[in-house]
Amino acid sequence: MSIITIGDELLIGQTIDTNSAWMAQQLNAMGIWVHRRVAIGDVREAILKALEEEGAISDIVLITGGLGPTADDITKPVLTQYFGGTLIRDEITYKQVMQFFESRGLPTLQRNVDQSLVPDVCTVLHNTRGTAPGMWFEKDGKIYVSLPGVPHEMKGLMTDHVLPRLRDYFNTPAVVHQTLLTSGMGESFIAERLADFEAALPENIKLAYLPSYGLLKLRLTAFGEDKLSTAAALSIHFHTMKDLLPDITVADQDIPIAEVLGKLVQTKGKTLGTAESCTGGFIAHSLTVIPGSSAWYNGSVITYSNDMKQQLLGVKAETLDKYGAVSEEVVKEMAEGALKLLKTDYIIAVSGIMGPDGGTPEKPVGTVWIAAGSNAGIVAVKRQLIYDRYNNIQMTAAYAMNELRKLLV
C-alpha cells in the first residue's frame, strides 16, 4: 500500500509528518505493509499524478491532508474530479459542523458549512473529533481513503472506520512483534553477541535493531497463518534472545524508559522526584505523560540558575565556586536538597552543558552530571554527549532515568 501526505507545510519542513509513521505502525500490525510514502504540495496536478501513480502499484492508497476550510485545502475537489463525482451535502456531517460551532458560541461561516460537502461517489467516514469527514473510494479494484491531516482526527477515523473496514476487506497474514529494550551496549556489539542467534532464526522471524535516545530496541517480527500460533513460536525465540542479554536488558516490552522507571517505583510503594537544571523540566514531562504517574511522582524543581540552586535546593555557594555548576559535587547537593524539599523516596538530579555554546576545554559542550538515589545514598555519573541541544536534553533525560532504574533493580 501507499501513503500520500498533502500539504506545502510538509515540503518546507514547517510541519513534521508524524501521520505516516503512526498509520504504518497500525497497518503493519494487521499484516498490511506500506511500501511507498509520498509527500506532495497543495497542487492539483501533483495530487492527480500521485493518485494515478500510487493507484497503479498499490491495492490501498491512504491520503492525509488538504481537507480544511481554507483556499489552499484542495484535496476534496481534486478527489471529486479524479473519481468523477459531484459534491453533495452529507447531512450527518452538516449537523456535526453546526453543533461544533454552536456549542462553542462561534459563528458558522460558509467555508465551515462547506466542510459537509463530499463527493457522491464516496462512502463518508464520519469524524467525531472534528469537522472534516473521511472519504472511502473504490476504483478498478483499488481502495483510496482520504483523511484529515490533523493527527488527532486522523487517528480517530483510522481506529473507528478505516482499520476495521480493511480488516474485513482483506485476508491478511498474522504479524506479531516483540521488543526488548536494552541500554549500555552499542548496536554493533549487541549484533556480535547475537550473531549465532540471528543466523539460526527461521525464515518467518526477523530481527531489527532500532536505536533510540540512550537505548536500543531489539524487535523480533514473526509472520504466520494465525496470530495465536505465530505469537507462541515468536515467544520462544524472544526469550532465548532475552536470556543472551541479561546484563543490558531494561524491559521486555516496547514502552518508554519513563514508564519502566515508574512501574519500578510504584511496585516498591515509593515516590520519585526530580531536580533539573540543563533539561529544564524534560524529565518531569517524560514522567508525567505516563497515565497514573500521580500515584508515584511527587514533583520537580527546576533550578536553572546558580541562585535557584542555592535558594531552593541548598547548594552551597562555595561548592559552586570551587567545582562549578556542572560537577559531581553540585549535582549531589542538588539531589540531597531535592529529597528534603520534595519529601520523596527517590530522586534524580541533572546539571550539564547542552550547547551549542557554554563549553570550556575542561567541560566541553555535552558534559552532563547525573545523580540518582535516596536518603540511603546518592550515586553520580558523568556523561559526555555529542549531539545538538535538543537531542542532548533528550539523551540526558533517558540516561538519568535509566541510572535510577539500575539502582532500583
Map 95-119 to HEC letters. HHHHHHHHCCCCCCCHHHHHHHEEE
End-to-end distance of the chain based on CA atoms, in angstroms? Answer: 44
C-beta neighbour count of 329 within 10 angstroms? 17
- Both 72 and 141 in one domain: the answer is yes
- Both 152 and 92 in one domain: the answer is yes
Cβ(286)–Cβ(402) below 8 Å: no
- Both 158 and 179 in one domain: the answer is no
235 φ, ψ (degrees, to nearest 5): -60, -40
3-state secondary structure of 382: strand
Task: Provide the percentage of residues in the chain whose pLDDT is more than 90.
Answer: 94
Weakest mean pLDDT among 89-93, 117-121, 167-171, 375-379: 167-171
- Both 301 and 335 in one domain: the answer is yes
Out of 144, 169, 194, a domain closes at 169
Q: How many domains does the chain have?
A: 3
Residue 30: the pLDDT is 86
3-state secondary structure of 302: strand
pLDDT digits (tens, 9 = 90+) for 363-397: 999 999 999 999 999 999 999 999 999 999 999 99
Cβ(352)–Cβ(394) below 8 Å: no
pLDDT band at 29 (very low <50, low <70, confident <90, very high): confident
CATH of the domain at 155: 3.40.980.10
Residue 173: the pLDDT is 83
- Both 224 and 87 in one domain: the answer is no
Residue 71: the pLDDT is 86
Residue 171: the pLDDT is 85
- Both 209 and 269 in one domain: the answer is no
3-state secondary structure of 53: helix
Name the DSSP class of 73. Answer: -
Out of 228, 251, 274, a domain closes at 251
Cα separation, 76 vs 96, in Å, equals 18
CATH of the domain at 179: 3.30.70.2860
Residue 252: the pLDDT is 96
Residue 250: the pLDDT is 96
- Both 147 and 20 in one domain: the answer is yes
243 φ, ψ (degrees, to nearest 5): -65, -25
Residue 280 C-alpha cell reads as 529544564
Confidence check: pLDDT of 402 > 90: yes
Out of 217, 251, 285, a domain closes at 251
pLDDT digits (tens, 9 = 90+) for 100-113: 999 999 999 999 99
Confidence check: pLDDT of 268 > 90: yes
Per-residue pLDDT, averaged over 319-343, amounts to 98
Per-residue pLDDT, averaged over 317-325, amounts to 98
- Both 31 and 165 in one domain: the answer is yes
Mean residue pLDDT of the chain comes to 96
- Both 305 and 161 in one domain: the answer is no
pLDDT band at 190 (very low <50, low <70, confident <90, very high): very high
pLDDT band at 7 (very low <50, low <70, confident <90, very high): very high
Q: Which domain holds residue 96?
A: 2-169
- Both 115 and 195 in one domain: the answer is no
What single string gives the DSSP state of each residue in 215-227?
Answer: EEEEEEEEEESSH
CATH of the domain at 391: 3.90.950.20
- Both 43 and 65 in one domain: the answer is yes
- Both 114 and 93 in one domain: the answer is yes
